[in-house]
Structure 1
Amino acid sequence: MDTSSSFFQQISKDTDNLNIRFEHDRGYLQNVQTDTVPVVAVTLKDAEAKRRLNALGNYFTRSWSPETGCQICEEEKLDLVKMDPTSYPTVMLSVFVVRPTPFLEPFFERLAALDYPKSHIHLTTYCAVPEQQMFVNEFLEKQGPNYRSVEEIDPEKYMDQARAFQHAVKLCLEKSECDSLFYVEATAQFTWPGTLKHLVSANRSVVAPLMTRHNAFWSTFWGDISDDGSYKRSDDYFDIVERRKLGLWNVPLVGTTFMLSRWALSEIASDFVEEPFFYLSIASTTAKKNIFVYVDNRAQFGRLTNPVNFKLNHLHNDMWQIFDNPLDWEERYLHPDYHNFVNKSKTKDDFEQPCPDVFWVPLMSETFCRHMIEEMEHFGQWSDGSNYDARLETGYEAVPTRDIHMRQIDWEEQWLHVLRTYVYPIQLKIFEGYSDKPWARMNFVVRYMPGEQPFLRFHHDASTYTLDMALNRAHVDYEGGGVHFPRYGCKLVETRVGWPLIFPGRLTHLHEGLETTSGIRYIFVTFVNP
C-alpha cells in the first residue's frame, strides 16, 4: 500500500493536503502532509474530484509556471497570420438577447467591427425580448448582407435559451463547412476587434474569452462548482480574473460567450444534459462527454454589461444606466473631449469664455442630446408656460418656460450624479475657491418654438451658477435663438450641441433667451446650488 503517496495520489473532493511545487518550467504535485511528490494522480468517477484534478492539471508538468508562463498555449494553435483570409475556418456567430440588456447599439457596432471576414461567418440571432427586437433588426438590415448566411431563431418556437442554443448547434452541424460556433450574449461588449481571430487561433474544444463586469469580479467563467450546482470560487480565481496569471485555463463552467469546435458541438448534440440553468447544462454536458473547457485571459477582450436592474419603461433606457454600467454610460453619453478638460494640467485659462465669466465646456455627447430630446417628446407633458406651476413647492414660477423637469421622467438622481461626478471637477477649475459640491432642484429641458414660446425675457437665475446646454443645432434644426448678456453686450447665437454655457446665476449675469424664428430649439438648464 502506498500510504505515503510516493507514487500514486488519489484526488478526491476532500483532498486538501495537495500543493503545486514549481521548478523552473515544471509543476509537480506535492502532498504537503507526507512531503512526497507522487508520480501519478488518479481519481474516481466523482464529478467534484474530476474538477479538482482538472484544476490541478493547469499547473502539472510543463503547462504553466511562474517563470515561463503558459507553455501549452501554443500547442495546437492555428496560425492565422500564415493563412490567406479566404482559407480561414468558417464560424457560426450565434447572437443571443435573452433578457432586457443595456447598450445594444454599441454591442452590435462592436460585433460588426470584429476583424474576421464576414464571408466566413454564418450569422444566427435569437431575441427573447420583443421590445429590443428593433436593435437586432437594425443590425441585420445594415450588416446582414455582408455575412455568409443569416438565420433568425424564432423565440416563440424555441422559448428558452437552452433549446434555442441546441437549435443553433443543429444549424451549424447541418453546414459541412461550419467549423465552430461562437456563442455570444448581448452583455458581451467586445472592445478588441481581434477577439474572434484570437479564439479561432486558440483552436480548443471549448474556449471562452475572459471578460468581467466593470470594477467587479463577475466574469465569463467559474473556477469551481458546488455539489448543489451553485457557484464555488477556486483558489486561483482572482489570479486569473485579475490577469496576474496569463494563459489558457481548464475550468468547469463558462458563460455569456464561448467558442465550441465542431467536434464539441457533435458531442453536445448527441446527449445534452438538462439542468436548472443554461450554463450548468453546458458544464454538465461537457463534463459527461470529457470535453475540456477553457477560459483564455491572454488578451483584453472587452467587458460585460450588468443587466440586473435594466428596465424597459422609457424610450432610451440606456440613459438610466449611469450607476450600474458607468463605463458604458460614459462612452455613450459623455462628450469625447470631456476628459481632456479635467486632467490636472488644465486651468481656467484653457476654457473658452465667449462672454466674461461665461465658460464653454464639452460635457455631453451628441447622442445624449438627441436621446434627451426624444425622451422629452416621448414623455410629452410640457408645462403650459404660465406663472402657475404645480410642480414647484410654492406653485409659482416667476420666469416660466415650456419645459419638462428631470424628476418628471425619474432622471433627477442620474443628473445629480452627473453634477457631482463630472461637473464638479470643472467647477473647481473655472470658479477657483468655490468648492461646495453641486446640487440642484431645478433641472429641466426647455422648448422654444414660434407659436408656443419663442423667447424668454430678461432675468437672473436663482442659482449660484447655471448650466445652459444646447441640445440641437442652430441653422439646422432651428433659426434664431441663443442667449444675450446685456451687462457685457454679448450675444451667443452659434451654440454648440453638448457644450453647456456655465455662468454665475445671481447678480452679474442678467440674460435673455433670444427669439427662435423657425424650427424648434431645445436647451437643458440646471440651477446649481440655489
Structure 2
Amino acid sequence: MVVVTVATESSDGFIKCVTSAEHFGLNMTVLRMDRKLQGARQQLKCLAEGLVQYKDDNSLVILFAESMNTVFLAGEDIILSKFRHFNSSLVFSAEAVCLPDYFAENHPGVSDGHRYLHSGVYIGYAPVVYEAVSNWQTVGYGDTQVYFQRLYFNETFKAKHNMTLDHRSYMFQNLKDVEDEVQLVYDEKQSWIKNKVYNTVPVLVHGQGIGNRKLLTLGNYVPNEWTWDSGCIHCDDNMISLEGKTEFQFPEVLMVVFNLSPTAFFRLFLERLTDLDYPKSRITVRLYAMAKPNVADALVWFNEIKSIGYRDITIVTTNMNERDARNDGLHYCTVTDCSYYFAIDSIVMLENRNTLRLLIEQNKTLLSPMVTEGKNKLWSNFWGALTYSAYYQRSEDYIDIVRRRRVGVWSVPHLSCVYLIKGSLIKEVGMTFTGPTWQPMMDSDMAFTRMLRNKFVYMYVTNRHYFGHLLKYSSHTNRRHNDMYEIVNNPIDWKEQYIHPNYARNLNNSTSYQMVCPDVYLFPLISEKFAKELIEEAEAVSEWLDGKEYFEDPSASVPQQLHAGTLDLKTIEYEHQWQQFVKSYVLPIQYLLFSSFKHTGNSTHGFILRQNGQSLSFPTQVVSFSINISLSQSGVNQQGGGCHFDRYNCSVAHIPVGYALMYPGVLTHVCRTVPSKGGISDNLVSFIDN
C-alpha cells in the first residue's frame, strides 16, 4: 500500500497528518508541496503524474488523504483488511451534507449511513485510482469534489470498478456536520475513536470546515498522544533548551502589553512582568496604556524600568480602540522583524517567573500559558470547543485541563489574553485582528482566532506548569485606593496585598494566638497597607461623627450612640466588602478559637474609631463576638491606647498595626479603650452576629 497526498505548505496540520501516519508505520508520499497548487486541475495533474509509475500494478493499493486535516488511526494491515471488506476497487469517504448542494439529488439514496461523496479521502487499486485522476485535462479550475462526484454519477465507470462510498464510517470518519456521532474512547494505556451511531472504528478521521474544530480535540489524544498512564507522550518532542545559554544567545522577544480597560492591581501586574526571569537586554517592551485610571501607574513604571537594561521601551498612550491597538502591536513586530511576539493583557497575573523561558522552550509556533480565574474556577484564557456559530462550547476534557487533572500541550480552537507567537508566523500568514471574516460586532480575540483557524494555524495552550491567574477588570475606578475594594472580584491578589503575611499561621499553628486576657485573643490579620489605605479613604471623605448620632441595632433595646471621631464603613462604601472580609478571614479564626459557636458572619456594624487621648466605651451591643483591629502603630502615631475589659480588670496595650483582638460579646466582655497619649489612635471595630 502507498499513502499519497499533495500539500500547499508544511503547516501544523500537515505535520500532524504525517506523524500520525508514521506512528503506524505508514510512509506518506508527498507528491508535491507548492503554495501555487490550487484548483482541481493542478491537483489532479499532480496526482496523475505521481501515480503513473503504479498504473499497471494491479496488486498495489493507493490511499489518498488530504494532508491539512487528516489523522491516521490504524496501520496497513487493518486498512487493507477493511478495504477488502467492501469488495470494491475504489472506495470514497462519505459525508452527511452534499457539497455542492445542487448535486444532492444525483446521489443514490441509502437506507443507512451518509449519502454523499466526499473527495478528501479515498482508497483503491493503483490502476483504478490512476484512471480516476487521469482525465484531469477535462477539468477547469473548480473543486476536486465536483470532479469526483461526476465520476461517481458515471454509471459505466462506477459499474466497471464497483465504485462505492463508505456510508457508515467503517474506514473513513468525516467530521463535518456529524461531530456528535464521534466518541473518543480511552483506557489507561491507549485512545481511539468510535462512531457510536454505526458502532464502527475508523482507520482515519478527516476534518473539513467546522469539522476541523473537533479534529483539534481528537488530535490531542490520538494516535497515542495522551493516556491516563503516561500523560502527554510527545510533549517533549522538538523542544529546545535555553539552559546554559549566554545572555546574547537568548532569542529576542517583543513583549507587547495591553492595558485597554481599567484593571485592578495594575501596578502589581507590572511588577510581575519586570520580575520575569529572562535577560532584559533581549526584551523590547511596548505598552499600550489606554485605561485612564491606570495611566499614572504606567508612567511611573515606565520611568522606573528605563535604567534596568531592557533593549527598548515604548509606552503608547494615544487614544485608539482595542482592535487598532492589537493590530499595531502585530505590525510593530513585522516592521522590526521580531523573533518572538509575546502579547499579554493586564488581567493576566504571571506568578511563574520562568513563563517566557518555558514557552520558548516548548517550541510551538503559537503557544499560550494556561491561566484561570483561580483554584477550582473554570474561567480561563482558552476554549476547548466551539459551537456551530463559533462561540464557546465546553469540551469533554475542559474541566480536567483547567484543573490540571490532565496535563499537556493542547491544541485548541480559541485562546486569548496571553500568548507567544513566532515572528516568522506573523509574517507568513499576515496576522490581523481585522481579517476577511471580521465583523464590526465581533470581539477582537474572536476575530483573531477565526482568522487563524481559517488559515489552518494551530493554537496551543500548555498547562504543564502553573503560570498564574486571571483578574476581572476593575469595577471601582473612583476611589482613592481602588484595589482595596476588589476583595470580591479579585480575591487572590487582594489577599496578597491586604492580608497580614503571617495570617496563614493562624490556621496552621495554634501557638500563633496570644490569649492576652481571659477569652481575648490577639493575632495578625491585615497588612499595614490595608490599615494605611483604610485611614486614607476615611480621611478623604472626612465625615467623622460628632458624638450626637445614633444607629438602630436590632439586637439592642435602645438606639446605640456613636462616639465623636467614629466613621461608619458605609461612609466609604465599604460595607459589602467588609461583609466578605469577615466571612473569608475572620470566621475561620472564630471557628478555631470558639468552636462551639457557628456564625453566618453578618457584620452588625463596622466602623473606624479615632481616639485622641480620651477613653471610649464601645456600644453595648448584644452580639456573639467582636473584633478590634489596630490601624495605627503604637509609638509612632501615639503612646498608649488599646482595650480594657472591666470584668477582668485586664488591659491590652501596644497592639501592633494590623493585629486584631477577638473576644465574646458584651455579656462577658464589655470593652472600652485605654486612653492614648501624644497623638491619634485609629482602630477598626466590628460586631459580629448571626
Normalised to the residue count of structure 2, the TM-score between the two structures is 0.68
Contact residue 207 and residue 296 of structure 1 kept, 8 A: yes
1:110 aligns with 2:235: no
Q: What does residue 323 of structure 1 align with?
A: 488
Which residue does the alignment assign to 1:502?
662
Q: 2:322 aligns with which of 161, 179, 184?
A: 161
Alignment match of 2:415 (pick from 254, 259, 263): 254
Alpha-carbon distance between aligned partners in 1 of 2:302 and 2:327, rounded to the nearest angstrom: 22
Of 360, 377, 389, which aligns to 1:228? 389
Cα gap change, 1:239/1:437 in structure 2, threshold over 3 Å: closer, same or farther?
Answer: closer
Residue correspondence of structure 1 range 464-503 to structure 2 within 5 A = 464=623, 465-485=625-645, 490-503=650-663
Which residue of structure 2 aligns with residue 80 of structure 1?
Answer: 242
1:505 to partner: Cα distance: 4.9
Q: Secondary structure at the match of 2:258?
A: strand
Tell me the C-alpha RMSD between the 2 structures.
2.9
- TM-superposed CA distance for 1:521, in Å, is 2.8
Q: Larger C-alpha radius of gyration, 1 or 2?
A: 2
Q: Say whether the 8 Å CA contact 2:562–2:619 is kept in structure 1.
A: no
Q: Distance in 1 between matches of 2:301 and 2:231?
A: 40
Which residue is equivalent to 1:421? 584
The amino acid of 1:406's aligned partner reads L
Q: Tell me if the contact between 1:22 and 1:65 (Cα under 8 Å) persists in the aligned partners.
A: yes
Residue in 2 aligned with 1:128?
A: 290
Task: Classify the secondary structure of the residue corresponding to 2:339.
Answer: strand
CA offsets per residue over residues 202-257 of structure 1, 9 Å max, x none? 12111111111123211111122223332122232223222232211111110111
Task: Report what 1:302 is aligned to.
Answer: 468
Alpha-carbon distance in structure 2 between the residues aligned to 1:399 and 1:27 = 69
**1:95–1:124 Cα contact (<8 Å) kept:** yes
Aligned partner of 2:225 in structure 1 is 63
Unaligned runs of 5+ in 1: none
1:355-504 correspondence to structure 2 within 5 Å: 355-384=517-546, 386=547, 388-389=548-549, 398=561, 400-431=563-594, 433-448=596-611, 453-457=612-616, 461-464=620-623, 465-485=625-645, 490-504=650-664
Q: How many residues align?
A: 514
Indicate yes or no: 2:369 matched with 1:209: yes
Given that 2:653 and 2:674 are in contact with CA atoms closer than 8 Å, whether structure 1 keeps it comes out as no
Q: Which residue of 1 aligns with 2:677?
A: 516
CA deviations on 1:479-500 (whole Å, 9 max, x unpaired) are: 4544455665655442211111
1:159-202 C-alpha deviation (Å, 9 max, x unpaired): 222211111112222324x2111111111112222222111111
Equivalent position amino acid for 1:292 in 2 = Y
Q: Following superposition of structure 1 onto structure 2, how do residues 35-54 of structure 1 map, counting pairs within 5 Å?
A: 35-44=199-208, 46=209, 48-54=210-216
Q: Which has the higher contact order (CA 8 A, sep 6+)?
A: 1
Verify: 1:285 aligned to 2:451, yes or no.
Answer: yes
| Residues 13, 241 of structure 1: alpha-carbon distance in 2 compared, 3 angstrom cutoff | farther
Q: Secondary structure at the match of 1:456?
A: coil
Aligned to 2:504: 339
Alignment check: 8 A CA contact 1:463 1:528 kept: no
Deviation at 1:71, TM superposition (A): 2.9
Per-residue CA deviations over 1:241-283 (Å, capped at 9, x if unaligned) read: 2223221111111011111111222145465413411111211
Identity of aligned residues (%): 28
Matched, 1:238 2:238: no
CA contact (8 A) 2:663 2:669 kept: no
Corresponding residue SS for 1:96: strand
Residue identity in the other structure for 1:321: E
Alignment partner of 1:416: what SS?
Answer: helix
One-letter amino acid matched to 2:364? R
Counterpart of 2:355? Answer: 195
Match of 1:152 in 2: 315
Q: CA deviation at 1:132?
A: 1.6
Query: Of residues 289, 296, 301 in structure 2, which corresponds to 1:139?
Result: 301
Q: Which amino acid aligns with 1:246?
A: V
8 Å contact 2:638–2:676 — kept in the other structure?
no
Distance 1:285 1:428 in 2: 54
The SS at the match of 2:663 is strand
Output the amino acid matched with 1:119: S
**AA in 1 matched with 2:258:** F
Q: CA 1:69 to 1:491, structure 2 compared with 1: closer, same or farther past 3 Å? A: closer
Q: Distance in 2 between matches of 1:262 and 1:458?
A: 68
Aligned residues of 2:583 and 2:601 also touching (Cα < 8 A): yes
Specify whether residues 170 and 25 from structure 1 end up closer, same or farther in structure 2 by C-alpha distance, changes over 3 A only. Answer: farther
Out of 172, 178, 184, the residue aligned to residue 14 of structure 1 is: 178
Q: Distance in 2 between matches of 1:28 and 1:502?
A: 59
CA contact (8 A) 1:205 1:264 kept: yes
Q: Deviations over 1:322-376 (max 9, x none)?
A: 2333333322222222222234x63xx7521334443212111222112211211
1:100-141, CA deviations, whole angstroms, 9 ceiling, x for partnerless residues? 222223322322222212221111111221012122223223
- Post-superposition shift, 1:6? 4.6
